[in-house]
Copies of this chain bind each other. A is one copy, B any other.
């Protein structure tokens, strides 16, 4: 994609305010942004909620699909997006496929939001 302005970044000073501190969200931007982007869809957010709220910790796809008014392939696509973002994982068990939450990734994203919220109060 376009990217043709190799500006040094940070060397300009307009004099309106003191220089900026180092950002608190480090170079993990790409992975974190991908995680948030995966969450940026109502269907995926609800899928994640349904999986997380299930008692056994894992849910069969056949339980998820009839909950939505979109086709099976679409649900499968959204589950794949969530899986590629590292938010969920799955395993085939006989006829059915089961999905479960990856708590570490969720906690990491939650931390990214908690830190700035607390720092700016």
Contacts and interface: CB of A to CB of B under 8 A. Distances in A.
* Oligomer copy total: 2
Contacts of A77: none
A95 B17 CA distance: 12
Interface in A65-80: 66-72
A17 B63 contact: yes
A4 B71 contact: yes
Given A17-B56, A21-B54, A22-B53, A117 B121 contact: no
Interface in A43-88: 44-46, 48-57, 59-60, 62-64, 66-72
Contact of A16 (B1, B9, B17, B60): B60
Interface of A: 1, 3-7, 9-12, 14, 16-25, 29-30, 32-34, 36-42, 44-46, 48-57, 59-60, 62-64, 66-72, 95-96, 100-101, 103, 106-107, 109-110, 112-121
